[in-house]
Every structure is written in C-alpha cells, then in structure tokens.
Amino acid sequence: MTKVAVATTSQLAADGANEVAKLGGNAVDCALAAALFTMNTEPGVCALAGSAFITVWQPDGDPVTIDGNVAVPGMGLPAGDRGHAISEVTLKYGGGITTLAGPGSVAVPGSLAAIEKAWQRFGNARWADLFLPTIAATRDGFPLSSACHYYLGYAGKEIFDRSDDGYAALHSDDGTLHAVGHPVVVPHLADTLSAIAEDGARIFYEGELAQKISTHVRDAGGALTMQDLGDFEAIERPSLTVDINDWTIASNPPPAVGGATLAAMLLACSDLSQENWTADALARLIEVQRATLDFRKRRLDLADDVGPEAARLLQSAANGQLVSKWASASTVHTSAVDENGVACAVTASSGYGSGEMPHGTGLWLNNCLGELELNRRGLDAGPPGIRLPSNMAPSIARRSGRVLAAGSPGADRITTALHQFLVNILQMGMSLEDAIAHPRIHVDTSGESERLMAEPGLDLPDIDMPVNVMPDLNMYFGGIGATLVDREKGFQVASDPRRDGGTRICSA
C-alpha cells in the first residue's frame, strides 16, 4: 500500500482513510474518503448536499482545483417562482449572525459531483471503497462531536428541528439534544450512501434520489428543480498559484473568492520574516486583513466576473498598494499527502443548514442561498446555474523535496486562519503543530462597523476599532488540518486544537 498522511475533522474519519489506504488508495482516495465521512457524520457543521472544492497536485503535473460549489437553482421556472419559502434566523453563534433557512434557501448541491470527478481523475481505489467507512458509521451510529454539539446548541431549535427524521437523530426521548459522544443514527442515510456507492453520483443528480430531493424542495416552495440537478457538473480549473520565498502555493481560483483573498494576504505579508508575532507584526497583519477583506467586500463579492477583480487585488498586493488604498461568514476540511508526493486538499460546506431533509433520504440540504455574509446578493443571486461566492480555499504548497496540504473550515475566517498558519510555517519557521495552535486574529467586517476578534496570548497593538478577545482558543477562528511530507524527514501531520480533529499516517 501507499503510505499516506491524513489530517481531518475527526479521528474516526482519519481511521476510515486508513481503511481505504489498505485497499490501495492514494492521497486523493484517502482525502475523499475522509471528506465523505466528515460530511455525513458532522450534523449541523456540514452535510453531503452542499458544496466542495478539491485541490490536487501531482508531483509531475500542475495543480488543479475541482469546483463543486453550489449553484443558483430555478432552471425551467419563471422568475416569480424563485425567492419564496424562506425563514430569517438570527443565531448568537460567532457573536451573532443572521441567515436564511427553509426550502427557498437551498442551492444546487455540488459536493458529490466534485468528489466523483476527483476520484475519476486521480484515484486508485474503487469508487465503492471510498464509502465503506462512512456507510458503516452511519448504519451503526457515530458519536456526536463537540463541534457539532456546540453549533447545534445555537442552531438546533431554529434550523435543525424542522425535519422529523433529523430531529429524531439528534434528540433523546425527552427532547433534549444528545450529549457529546452520544451515538447518532440518521434514518435512511446509510441506505442512501449505499445506493450512491453502488450506482455512482448520477443517482443523486438524475435518479430516484434526485427526484426525492427536488420534489421535497419544490413542494415546499423552493426552486431546486430536476433540471438544476441533471445539468450540474463539477468543473476542473487550473489552481491559482502564488510564490512566497521558495514555496509555490496553489489554491482555489476564481470564480471563488477564497483563493484570491488568501493569495493577496500572502503577497502583502511576503516581507514579514520574524521569529514571532510582535505588536508591530500584528499591526501589519491587521492592516493587511482590513485592506484585503475590504476589497473583497466592495469588489469581489458583488462582481459579475470575479477574474479581473481578483487580478487587480493580487496586483495591488504584489506592488504594495493594497494597504495604502484601504486607508482612504460552517465547514469541514481534509488534507492528505502520500509518499509519492501526491497531495489533496478538500474543503466542504453546507452553509448554516436549511433544516430541510427530504423524506427517506437522511440528507440535510444546504442553505447556501441564505448564507448572507458570503452570498450578498441574497436569493436573487443571478441566473440559474451560476456558481455562488465561496471563501473556501483548499491549498497545497510545494518546494523542492517538500509538499504541504492544508485548509480550514470557518466561513469568512477560512482565509485569515490559513494566512496566519502559512506565515507561521513558511515565513516564521514554526513547526506544523505550533503553526496551527498559535493564537489568531480576525478582522470582522460582517456588521455595520469593523471589530477585531482575537484569541488570548497576543501582544495586540493599539488600533482604531473595538477589540473582542476570546477567553480561549475558539472554533470561531477555523480549524486547520495540515499534512506535510519531506523527502528526507518523512511525514508530519497535525489537526487544530480548536475543533475535534483526527490525524493518521496510514500504513499496512
């Protein structure tokens, strides 16, 4: 078998990747298997009927990113049939967010199409093998993670109590949310996954399963049609690359905004070469975050064509003008590398969840149309079929003899978490574990005014915005999972202490 290192959101998912490695899987197979596991065993945090981006870099080729992002639904419908059946929900999660739930918030899911395309292009294992660990866990019951329990404590009643099967899966007989570690069995989910493992992804997009999904949404007033599902295709694109020191970093290209935002932050901080985060270095980091996130909010999020605006952002960051110009938004991630230098990074999201579960499927549907901090156009996000904005940025960094796969969940904190991690390891020389565990900051631009969110232990500078210091490391700031293989030193693998995480070096 090929030796593979995996970092993902649970130890069970990492152990599942090990099973696939033993069946002949490479880094891509193991990453996809772990990603499938996390999508289906992290209720509230993620779900299969959402979006995913997959970056793959083989040592003898160029990096590519497979776009399985959600799309605007409504093909074949009059414009007046869209934008209905939604509920505005305000949650205290993350300091307070407002999102839209219900059938009208459901976008066209793309995760499964992206997983199948990545497996067809780069996998070694059998398609059905990728599903074996997840099917077993969903049939026998999987423990409710602390990250899921934390989020469901905010969103369970408002969002995830809408479905009878979903409610039954998450609650005890007395109506209380299951405790951390309590086994969860989602009715029908194992059977749904078994059908996909046997017949392929098209059953989700064209077959009986697609009919159940579309009928549920349409009958309840949403816009997801069979034509939306049948016409959806994952798209393979050349990854966006940027050079920092002697590393080349590959990430998610336009029309997603995450990769461009991350690349701009890296370029704007490329001259930062210290051994620790001093107050001056943090001041520089804050300036870069403010400038980049401001550009994203004003230019990228509402752009009809993200590509030219992303090019302007990167040029501005590279020539030092970005910061001076400034002065005038649930997710899972898996990283894997193997001994042959193949690397794969998978980030997936279902938004905050619509709460909708078509009867007999066990599948929670996304609310990505209603994820307002990302989809700022709201329910009228564009013509049917257009991809929605995304901050997801599964990334791979390569230099002579070394390859690193990394990514993070965390809505609009994805890029800021990844940026700080990459500076820590590529420019400040921290170990993989220290680079992940180091305290983080995030400039929150979601409200009417900016505020700095921070973790304890940093020498923060005096700044002209409110500062909210968390009492401890917090899952609000993402959950980096990273794997690295060095030709001379072997494997390194680490997951984030902010979230439940799992690592495994897969071997016979």
How long, in residues, is the chain? 508
Higher pLDDT, 417 or 329: 417
- Of the candidates 383, 286, 373, 384, the one whose C-alpha atom is nearest the C-alpha of residue 331 is 373
Q: Which amino acid is at 149?
A: H
- Give the span between the Cα atoms of 192 and 361, in whole angstroms: 6
Q: What are the phi and psi torsion angles at 239 (to 5°)?
A: -65, 155
- 292 contacts 322 by C-beta, under 8 angstroms: yes
Q: What is the pTM of this model?
A: 0.93
**Percent helix, strand and coil across the chain, each rounded to 5?**
40, 20, 40
Residue appearing with tokens 């294992």: 125
Average of pLDDT values for 380-404?
88
Whether the bond between 471 and the residue before it is cis, its omega within 30 degrees of 0, is no
Task: Give me Rg for the CA atoms of the chain.
Answer: 21
Higher pLDDT, 39 or 329: 39
- 405 contacts 386 by C-beta, under 8 angstroms: no
**Best-predicted range by mean pLDDT among 193-197, 289-293, 463-467?**
193-197
pLDDT-derived band at 490 (thresholds 50, 70, 90) equals very high
Checking phi first, is residue 3 left (phi over 0); if not, alpha (psi -120 to 50) or beta?
A: beta
- Give the span between the Cα atoms of 310 and 312, in whole angstroms: 5
Percent of the chain with pLDDT strictly greater than 70: 95
User: What 8-state DSSP symbol labels residue 498?
Assistant: T
- 353 contacts 50 by C-beta, under 8 angstroms: no
To the nearest whole number, what is the mean pLDDT of the chain?
90
Give all strands (DSSP E) within 30-119, no chain letters: 51-57, 64-68, 87-91, 97-101
Average of pLDDT values for 57-61?
95
Higher pLDDT, 369 or 235: 235
Structure tokens belonging to residue 333: 């991630």
pLDDT attached to residue 20? 97
The least confident of 212-216, 229-233, 316-320, 346-350 is 316-320
The least confident of 334-343, 353-362, 442-451 is 442-451
pLDDT attached to residue 298? 78
Structure tokens belonging to residue 194: 């078994």
At 105-160, the pLDDT tens digits run 999 999 999 999 999 999 999 999 999 999 999 999 999 998 888 888 887 778 88
If you count DSSP H runs as helices and E runs as strands, how many of each does the chain have, helices first?
Answer: 16, 20
Please determine, for residue 172, whether its predicted confidence score (pLDDT) is greater than 60.
Answer: yes
Query: Which is it for strands 467-469 and 451-454: parallel, antiparallel or unpaired?
Result: parallel
Q: Using CA of residue 251, residue 252, residue 253, residue 257, what is the dihedral sign?
A: negative
Spell out the residues 6+ positions from residue 28 whose beta carbon is closer than 8 angstroms to its own.
Answer: 56, 118, 119, 122, 123, 124, 336, 342, 344
pLDDT attached to residue 320? 72
- Give the span between the Cα atoms of 462 and 422, in whole angstroms: 25
At 277-330, the pLDDT tens digits run 999 999 999 999 988 988 888 788 777 788 888 888 888 888 776 655 433 336
Please determine, for residue 85, whether its predicted confidence score (pLDDT) is greater than 90.
Answer: no
pLDDT-derived band at 5 (thresholds 50, 70, 90) equals very high
Average of pLDDT values for 232-244?
96
Spell out the residues 6+ positions from residue 407 whose beta carbon is closer than 8 angstroms to its own.
Answer: 333, 334, 335, 345, 346, 347, 392, 393, 394, 395, 414, 418, 480, 481
- Give the span between the Cα atoms of 110 and 108, in whole angstroms: 7
Q: What separation in angstroms does the CA of 385 have from each of 150, 206, 265, 267?
A: 34, 16, 30, 33
Say whether 388 sits in a helix, a strand or coil: coil
pLDDT attached to residue 486? 92
